[in-house]
């Protein structure tokens, strides 16, 4: 076997016009062989690390760590309240254009569990936070080539329709580190990034945490509640109303209106994800979110919504002297 290989190699080398090319061929073979071995070693080391190391956000996920898919937490208890630190945020793609929002899509009779951000095939996709690669998979009928990262703040982020994955499972990544390239794989029509944020598998609208147009987070922290405000459709769609109808009073938004708003919005890209979540789309609408406008203070916001500064501070876990950011979302009721 070995002799046959050597002989065929010699025959090939002799067939080449010069010895220089033969040497080049040998060098290339040696390099490929070396790469194969070193990648195996990396794989073994990474697997050993994954088994030994404490997984990220252990207080929420315990020892639950597997590489199987997006929502692998069915039946696991969700934290009643979780303050998610967003300070480490990096934009997952250079584009700031959201082409499809989170929410129910009547046309497809299903919920879109993330944001679609415009992009070209080959654009670099970056880790939104420091963390560890939990999933690197291909899903032909849904996400295409995708990556799931777990972060120490309790979030998991999903990056779908990639043309290329640049990181391996169980690999540690820094915030802003390239993890893939934008693409159009899976159930997607046109290159874009499908970006999701989840807590124990439950999808949360990324627009509640991040202002994609401003390439920034909306506040330093976001408070997740297992029975909480992020599930209310009014809270999800309020910024849409504020953007499209600046003259209208966003405070008047009811639970039903934002759904129609989403329905009326153009659907530039049709897609379907196989990911399922226990997330309910039924509006609970007990809460109201106010988007901070230029020149507003806690006092003026409290007056506007017939509440108190102390109440707003308590709901948003901020101090009375906290600096408000334009566009910041505050739960007022």
Q: Residue 136 forms beta bridges with which residues? A: 147
Query: Of the candidates 89, 104, 116, 331, which one interacts with Zn ion according to CB under 5 A?
Result: 116
Q: Residue 291 forms beta bridges with which residues? A: 329
Closest CB to Zn ion among 117 and 302?
A: 117
Site size with Zn ion, rule: CB under 5 A:
2
CA 148, CA 222: separation in Å to the nearest integer? Answer: 20
DSSP H helix total and E strand total for the chain: 7, 19
Q: How far is the CB of 132 from Zn ion (least distance, A)?
A: 23
Tokens of 111: 């919920």
CA 106, CA 96: separation in Å to the nearest integer? Answer: 25
Closest CB to Zn ion among 116 and 205?
A: 116
Tokens of 284: 């609970």
Closest CB to Zn ion among 102 and 126?
A: 102
Q: How far is the CB of 112 from Zn ion (least distance, A)?
A: 6
- State which of positions 176-205 bind Zn ion (CB under 5 A): 194
CA 7, CA 3: separation in Å to the nearest integer? Answer: 6
CA torsion sign for 278, 149, 184, 101 is positive
C-beta nearest to Zn ion: residue: 194
Closest CB to Zn ion among 99 and 226?
A: 99
Question: What are the φ and ψ backbone dihedral angles of 133, each rounded to 5 degrees?
Answer: -75, 115
Closest CB to Zn ion among 79 and 190?
A: 190
Q: Which residue has the tokens 């109808």?
A: 245
Q: How far is the CB of 111 from Zn ion (least distance, A)?
A: 11
- From residue 63 to residue 102, what is the string marking binding to Zn ion with x (rule CB under 5 A)? ----------------------------------------
Q: How far is the CB of 62 from Zn ion (least distance, A)?
A: 29
Chain positions contacting Zn ion, by CB under 5 A: 116, 194
């Amino acid at each position: 076997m070995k002799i046959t290989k050597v002989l065929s190699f010699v025959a090939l080398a002799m067939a080449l016009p010069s010895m220089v090319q033969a040497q080049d061929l040998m060098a290339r073979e040696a390099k490929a062989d070396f790469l194969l071995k070193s990648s195996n070693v990396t794989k073994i080391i990474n697997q050993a690390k994954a088994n030994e190391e404490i997984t990220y956000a252990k207080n929420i996920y315990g020892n639950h760590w597997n590489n199987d898919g997006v929502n692998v937490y069915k039946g696991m208890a969700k934290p009643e309240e979780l303050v998610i630190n967003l300070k480490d945020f990096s934009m997952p793609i250079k584009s700031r254009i959201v082409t499809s929002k989170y929410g129910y899509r009547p046309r497809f009779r299903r919920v879109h569990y993330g944001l679609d951000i415009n992009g070209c095939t080959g654009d670099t996709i970056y880790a939104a936070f420091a963390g560890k690669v939990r999933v690197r998979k291909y899903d032909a009928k849904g996400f295409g080539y995708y990556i799931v990262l777990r972060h120490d703040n309790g979030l998991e982020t999903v990056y779908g329709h990639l043309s290329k994955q640049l990181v391996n499972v169980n690999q540690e990544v820094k915030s802003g580190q390239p993890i893939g390239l934008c693409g159009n794989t899976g159930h997607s029509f046109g290159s874009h990034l499908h970006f999701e944020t989840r807590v124990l598998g439950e999808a949360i609208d990324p627009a509640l945490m991040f202002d994609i147009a401003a390439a920034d987070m909306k506040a330093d922290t976001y408070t997740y509640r297992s029975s909480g405000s992020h599930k209310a459709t009014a809270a999800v769609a309020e910024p849409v109303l504020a953007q499209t109808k600046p003259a209208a009073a966003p405070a008047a938004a009811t639970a039903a209106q934002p759904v129609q708003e989403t329905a009326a919005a153009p659907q530039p890209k049709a897609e379907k994800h196989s990911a399922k979540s226990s997330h309910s789309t039924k509006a609970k609408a007990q809460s109201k979110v106010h988007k901070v406008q230029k020149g507003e203070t806690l006092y003026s916001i409290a007056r506007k919504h017939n509440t108190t500064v102390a109440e707003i501070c308590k709901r948003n876990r901020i101090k009375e002297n906290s600096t408000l950011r334009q566009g910041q979302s505050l739960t007022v009721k």
